[in-house]
Structure 1
């Protein structure tokens, strides 16, 4: 195993470095999918906001946001709440 492989993976064996490298490739692919889904969510949220504002409503529906926060919190615990807050911020657009 080369020093570069050990530096990149933190592994102490070639086998472990291969496992880590393969798993990281999978994580990178998952991250790409997650980013795509977030972008799709942002687009759908923009449609909702346009419809709500067009009908005379407010841009943000706080009761709906609380539902989203609760959903993420129940599924992922406290870090889920932080993740949901970030998603909501991304999807609100500029207020």
Structure 2
């Protein structure tokens, strides 16, 4: 589920406690900060920090939208490759290609990259 920290958007965590917010003072406790009342959805009462968090979140939301669009495009292209291959008498999967993708993501992102690649592959071909 997307957690973008923007109030009123799907996948928004309460009080803006998305993954990018879970560090520093008050981490793990929504709505707590170092002093005074928090600026809504930022986890801090310091106006300068709250403003910077809001700026950063705008960019995070842009990146999230782009990732979703790219994910959907990649899945559609992958399904087209599979359908074209099967229509021409080929196999449903090409395991060497899947291994290549898994390795590329593992090298770039470590263990999380492998998990991400597995999700991408499943989105394009369905579960095994």
**Does the pair score TM above 0.5?**
yes
The residue number in structure 2 matching 1:74 is 107
TM-score in terms of structure 1 length? 0.88
Deviations 1:10-43 (A, max 9, x none): 1231000011111011101100001000111011
1:19 aligned onto 2:52:
yes
- Number of matched residues? 93
Q: CA RMSD in A?
A: 1.7
Counterparts of 1:1-95 in structure 2, within 5 Å, are: 3=37, 5=39, 7-93=40-126
Mark the runs of 5 or more structure 1 residues left unpaired by the alignment. none
Higher RCO, Cα 8 Å, sep 6+:
1
Deviation at 1:93, TM superposition (A): 3.1
Deviation at 1:4, TM superposition (A): 5.5
- Equivalent position SS for 1:26: helix
Deviation at 1:55, TM superposition (A): 1.3
Runs of 4+ in structure 1 off by over 6 angstroms are: none
Q: Is the 8 A contact 2:42 2:53 kept in 1?
A: yes
Deviations 1:53-83 (A, max 9, x none): 0111121111100000000001111110011
- Equivalent position SS for 1:9: coil
Mark the runs of 5 or more structure 2 residues left unpaired by the alignment. 1-35
